[in-house]
Amino acid sequence: MDQSLTIDSAGRIVLPSAVRRALNLSAGSRLRLDVVAQRIELTPEPDADGEAGLLTVPGRRTVLRPSGKPFDAAAAVRAEREAQAGGGARTRGKTPR
């Protein structure tokens, strides 16, 4: 993708929605900024807790959050479906205990 961005008076930029969707970024997502050879590189940081789990984006499919840790996705999906069917609290991608 080749696109120009503008820095506002507060020093902020807005990432295009196509980029945010492709990288599963949403409000509150953290990015690492590195300056390399006169270029700015932004890299998504893993969640602070680094916990494995499901990532659900409204209107899109549910995917496994990359963490490198073992995770029982089938159990988490069953728990999520049960919570939705019963109107209970969502598990927020964590494996039920």
Give long-range contacts, CB 8 A cutoff, 24+ apart: 24-28.
24/55, 24/57, 24/63, 26/57
Do 41 and 74 lie in one domain? The reply is: no
pLDDT number for residue 22: 82
Domain check: are 85 and 53 in the same one? yes
CATH number at residue 5: 2.10.260.10
Query: Concatenated DSSP letters for 10-71?
Result: TS-----HHHHHHTT--TT--EEEEEETTEEEEEEPPPTT---EEEE-TTS-EEEEP-SS--
Question: What digits encode the pLDDT tens for the residues 85-96?
Answer: 876 555 555 555
* Other Cβ atoms within 10 Å of 76 Cβ, number: 21
> Does 27 lie in the same domain as 55?
no
Mark whether 76 and 64 lie in a shared domain.
yes
Whole-structure pTM value: 0.48
Domain co-membership, 92 together with 64: yes
Higher pLDDT, 23 or 37: 37
- Greatest extent of the chain over all pairs of C-alpha atoms, in Å: 54
Write down the pLDDT at residue 47.
60
